[in-house]
Amino acid sequence: MFHLDEEQRLILQSVREIVQREIKPQAATVDETGEFPWNAVRVFAKNDILNSLLPRKYGGVEVSYFTFCMILEEIAKVCASSALVVITQAEGTLPIVYGGDEHLKERYLRRLAGDSQVLAALGTPEPTDGSEILPLKTEAVLRGGKYIVNGEKCLMKNGSIADFLVLYAYTDPSKGNDGISAFVTEKGSAGLVYGRDENRMGMRGCPRSEIFMEGLEIPRENLIGKEGEGFSNVMKTMSASRLFTAAQGVGLAQGAMEEGIAYARKRVQFGKPISHMAPIQFMIAEMAAGIESARLLTYQAAFLFDREEWKKASTHAAMAKFTASDTAMKVTTDAVQIMGGYGYIREYPVERMMRDAKLTQVHTGTNQIVRLFVARDLTGSS
Amino acid sequence: MFDQVSLIPTEKLKIFRDKIKRAGREKIALQASSVDEEEFFNREVESLLWDLGLLTITFPPKYGGYGKGRMVAFCIAVEEIAKYCASSALLLIIQAVGSFPIIHFGSDQLKKEYLPQMSEGRKLVAYLVTEPTAGSDIAGIQTSAVKDGKDYILNGSKCFATSGGVAGIYSVLAKTSEGRGKGSSSFFLVERNSPGLSIGRTERKLGQRGSNTTEVFLENVKVPAENLLGRGGDGFIIAMKDFDMSRPAIAAQALGIAEGTLEAVLQFAKEKQTSGKPIAEHPIVQTILADSAILIEASRGLVYRAAILSDEGKNNTKFASMAKCFAGDAAMKITTDAIDAIQVLSGYGFLKDFQVERMFRDAKLTQIFEGTNQIQRLVIARQLLRDSM
């Protein structure tokens, strides 16, 4: 059904090799230390992975969403934190791709071309009940050709290290969602105050930062699109982000299943490898079926993005997100189970994968909220 | 709120439970995060558990045991402690598991010598059964015990030994004859300071990090023949009987973890507000709370059914496995969902500042040890088939 063309096969083969050689050996250390995987950034930048969605027009390779999902899968198989580096980069770039004018695109997207290691980040507020964005406590006031921004953003992925950040703020709070605007701001801008990076249970390689905007000055030309376009911009970006989380979940699950199977074939109990035992076989069959279902749904959503059927893509990305991440949670938990005591210790990667999988269920909207989105899309209710 | 006593209404148990509850809340809870974060065995908690008499509950009464109804008392203790700190509850469990072969199968002479060392001398016991190639398959052990005059000489490597590095006494399973037969292994009491016994690596785990898990190596360890527990070849049978006690206890631990989690979520959901409303009023959060409470009450029924059967001197194998399997799976689901409940409207569920994150990691072990939940299902099925003959 999914036929890969020659270029896609070459890309994936190359990503697979790079990931096995450069990323896999460091995955445990990245988790253990909780330090940002700068090496992954260098490797990904050098190999056209870091900004693979970047349009050709601005010097990027511009792979399809489908290819991008397969790339994320390959990375997440061995290190979800490193996959998150690439996802976060896309999240910080897409709002400009989707909504920026030519001038803004030239200024920011161009900086990501080639083997650039410039990092982008997205200050998206966590969506809550689907109809509004909370807590959006940020306001921007236009004064003398500049926006003065006050507010805060918690748990921003890569917030403390990104070179430029996309932020959302009310330019007209009285209009609700239609009064939200999107901006790009630079690291180190006056009024951009960095709080603490939170200590997390999973995907520990990527910081989640508190960001405070205390009279942050943003030049008028750094408004993305027009005033009031922020809400649709963030919604579109979040949809893409859910697609990427789905791909990450599929990869995580695949990686954990492969670890579980390899162990089950080696581990001898009661005179035979445990892979010959029905209870273990049940778990493996369930894992594989879950992964394949999630993968198909994810690819389906990716195709809709590639065809720019945004509305349908958004619903499918949401379905793929909760399906793939729930699958990742179940598969990683069962992979630990298959490996028993060995699964539970940090010498083996599956316990890390289990902690990482939990995050795929809760970020870019918890799976409960994302289910509400889907139901509302289908029923037309609010 | 969670009243296990309504199932077993004796005044003595109520007093016993309230005492533990208080210690759990006032003392155990305070160190739960730090032992997890720093991965160390907390000697102060150990002292507290000795002071409370919890490390000897399953002993004969004259050595500090609870006496009549001890299995229920044991489960209550484990449950109450696990609400706050699963690692500390695990210490209770392994003390009971490790001392079981000595209490029930040691000679009178041996008990007279060692039980006071444990109860008054406050020695911890570890249970050395699992080996790198023998997990669920106990008959697959390689450690050997060879008779040499009045002694046995033990050689082998044990792994995943809870309290392995902090115990003073070990119950060691070793092969005393060739083959995989049920009569081919025996338990021995081995002292920590025996020449040839050494502690290997301390494992770094996903959860229950405040418990001490190590390798233990036995190299030509000389053990007097009187330290054989039961008769030669009784090893397998003793291990199976020990499971009848340990599995309800693991289930009680899972139950405690689940209850501690629900309490944390409830408290958070009531306090935390978004748009001026407590998140507890959100239907998604309420669904998670309700599902968790259902699983907790069902777990409780199984745990105490298995415990009461044991106290009545009846076979509890099937219920012990059912309790372990159900409560472990329930705790995993409850702790996994709890992170969502906190995350739903606050975005904080996966942060290490919140104890549910630790409880999620702790819960996973309850599905694995003392027989994986896959093994439990086999035990249950076998028992059902046997009962229906």
CA A310 to chain centre: 18
| Confidence class for position B369, pLDDT limits 50, 70, 90 | very high
* pLDDT of B350: 64
Nearest to B152 by CA among B121, B177, B132, B129: B177
Of A134, A199, A351, the CB nearest to B275: A134
Q: Contact A135/B274, CB-based, under 8 Å?
A: yes
Residues of B in contact with A367 (CB under 8 A): 340
A 205-234: CB under 8 A from B: 208
- Mean confidence (pLDDT) of chain A: 93
B211-220: per-residue pLDDT in tens?
A: 999 999 999 9
* pLDDT of B273: 72
* pLDDT of B1: 36
Instruction: Tell me if chain B has a CB within 8 Å of the CB of A351.
Output: yes
Q: Contact A336/B206, CB-based, under 8 Å?
A: yes
Decide if B219 is catalytic: no
Interval B243-248 mean pLDDT: 97
B266-321: per-residue pLDDT in tens?
A: 988 888 776 677 778 888 889 999 999 999 999 999 999 999 999 999 999 999 99
* pLDDT of B323: 98
* pLDDT of A13: 97
**Contact A324/A353 with Cβ under 8 angstroms?**
no
Instruction: Tell me if chain B has a CB within 8 Å of the CB of A285.
Output: no
Residues A208-227: b if buried by 16+ CB within 10 A, e if exposed: bbbbbbeebbbeeebbbbeb
Q: Contact B340/A198, CB-based, under 8 Å?
A: no
Is pLDDT at B2 greater than 80 in this prediction? no
Q: Which residue of A has its CA nearest to B135?
A: A269
* pLDDT of A20: 97
Interval B188-198 mean pLDDT: 98
The helix (run of H) or strand (run of E) holding residue A138 is none
Residues B246-274: b if buried by 16+ CB within 10 A, e if exposed: bbbbbbbbbbbbbbbbbebbbebbeebeb
* pLDDT of B347: 60
Is pLDDT at A79 greater than 70 in this prediction? yes
Tokens of A184: 């790009």
Which of B131, B215, B259, B370 is the catalytic position? B370
Bond prior to A135 in cis (omega within 30° of 0): yes
* pLDDT of A128: 45
Instruction: Tell me if chain B has a CB within 8 Å of the CB of A380.
Output: no
Task: Name which of B345, B350, B358 to mutate to probe chain A: the one with the most chain A Cβ atoms within 10 A of its Cβ.
Answer: B350
Task: Report the gap between the CA of A302 and the closest CA in chain B (Å).
Answer: 26
| Confidence class for position B7, pLDDT limits 50, 70, 90 | low
Instruction: Tell me if chain A has a CB within 8 Å of the CB of B360.
Output: yes
Of A155, A345, A368, the CB nearest to B203: A345
Task: Report the gap between the CA of A275 and the closest CA in chain B (Å).
Answer: 13
Least confident of A170-174, A284-288, B193-197: A170-174
Instruction: Tell me if chain B has a CB within 8 Å of the CB of A367.
Output: yes
Interval A215-228 mean pLDDT: 96
Rg, chain B, Cα only: 21
Residues with Cβ within 8 Å of residue B287, at least 6 apart in sequence: none
Interval A126-136 mean pLDDT: 47
pLDDT more than 90, % of chain A: 82
* pLDDT of A153: 80
Of A134, A346, A362, the CB nearest to B274: A134
CATH architecture type of domain B237-387: Up-down Bundle (1.20)
CATH dotted code for B125-234: 2.40.110.10
Is pLDDT at A172 greater than 80 in this prediction? yes
**Between A23 and A199, where is the model more confident?**
A23
| Confidence class for position A68, pLDDT limits 50, 70, 90 | very high
Q: Where are the domains of chain B?
A: 4-119, 125-234, 237-387
Q: Which domains does chain A have, with CATH numbers?
A: 6-112 (1.10.540.10), 120-228 (2.40.110.10), 231-379 (1.20.140.10)
* pLDDT of A195: 86
* pLDDT of B341: 82
Of B204, B336, B352, the CB nearest to A329: B336
Other beta carbons less than 10 A from residue A7's beta carbon: 11
Instruction: Tell me if chain B has a CB within 8 Å of the CB of A326.
Output: no
Interval A171-183 mean pLDDT: 92
CA distance A51 to A81: 16
Instruction: Tell me if chain A has a CB within 8 Å of the CB of B137.
Output: yes
Q: Contact A366/B340, CB-based, under 8 Å?
A: yes
Q: Which residue of A has its CA nearest to B287?
A: A368
* pLDDT of A166: 96
- Mean confidence (pLDDT) of chain B: 93
pLDDT more than 70, % of chain A: 97
Is pLDDT at B5 greater than 60 in this prediction? no
| Confidence class for position B342, pLDDT limits 50, 70, 90 | confident
Q: Contact A368/B135, CB-based, under 8 Å?
A: no
Tokens of A248: 């990450």
Of A128, A343, A351, the CB nearest to B274: A128
Is pLDDT at A130 greater than 50 in this prediction? no
CA distance B353 to B350: 9
Is pLDDT at A99 greater than 90 in this prediction? yes
Least confident of A122-126, A328-332, B95-99, B281-285: A122-126
Q: Contact A347/B377, CB-based, under 8 Å?
A: no
CATH architecture type of domain B4-119: Orthogonal Bundle (1.10)
